[in-house]
Structure 1
Amino acid sequence: MPEFNNVSVVKKANVYFGGNVSSRTIRFADGSVKTLGFMLPGEYIFNTADKELMEIIDGELDVLLPGTDAWLSVSGGQAFDVPANAKFTVNIKTATDYCCSFIK
């Protein structure tokens, strides 16, 4: 889906890692939430509360998911799942545009 309709957007950005990662929260009428974000090259560790679907719109990264020892290479047009209440690491190779869906 290239665009979202009938949503509300939180104006204040979520800014992490000294501004190298930022996102905007999108709220849907059905109560679901997504963030649209951008990550600059670097390595970042994130914690989750909910299960997440990370869709990579553009860019290249490696991700180390919980319970694994091998990095997974992901690029634009691909996605990966992260379990709830987990920690994962991303190594951003090129500037990366993403959509994160929070799964309740």
Structure 2
Amino acid sequence: MLNVNEYFDGQVKSIGFQGQDKPASVGVMAVGEYRFSTAAPELMVVVSGELQVQLPGESGWQSFKAGEQFNVAADSAFDVKVPVETAYLCVYG
């Protein structure tokens, strides 16, 4: 079953699905700045574009481009700056 979600007044859109091993979502973020909260651990993979990310507990920003990935702990929040429209894959758990 596919679950379509929209966040930040439609600036972030995703489609959730059951991956082979874990739940996942694929989506697109418009240029902007966003704060996301996590319930489960997340593996974020940049498919196209770039995400500038401030991970929980970090004071600096890191840049992730197409083909790169990062992890976010459960029950936390992270900030994202999106300099160009960006596609991502998120795997939960």
TM-score interval for Structure 1 and Structure 2 normalised by the shorter chain:
over 0.9
Matching of residues 59-98 of structure 1 within 5 Å: 59-98=49-88
Residue 21 (structure 1) aligned to one of 12, 30, 35: 12
Number of aligned residue pairs: give it: 93
The Cα RMSD (Å) is 1.1
In structure 2, the partner of 1:37 is 27
Taking a change above 3 Å as real, the CA distance of residues 76 and 28 of structure 1, as seen in their structure-2 partners, is: closer
> Structure 1 runs of 4+ off > 6 angstroms?
none
Structure with more relative contact order (C-alpha pairs < 8 Å, separation 6 or more): 2
Greater Cα radius of gyration, structure 1 or 2: 1
Q: Work out the CA distance in 2 between the residues paired with 1:59 and 1:45.
A: 18
Q: Work out the CA distance in 2 between the residues paired with 1:24 and 1:37.
A: 6
The answer on 1:46 being equivalent to 2:52 is no
Taking a change above 3 Å as real, the CA distance of residues 93 and 29 of structure 1, as seen in their structure-2 partners, is: closer
1:20-50: CA deviation from partner (whole Å, max 9, x where unpaired): 00000111365x2000000000000000000
What are the ranges of 5 or more consecutive residues in structure 1 without an aligned counterpart?
Answer: 1-8
TM-score, normalization: structure 1? 0.85
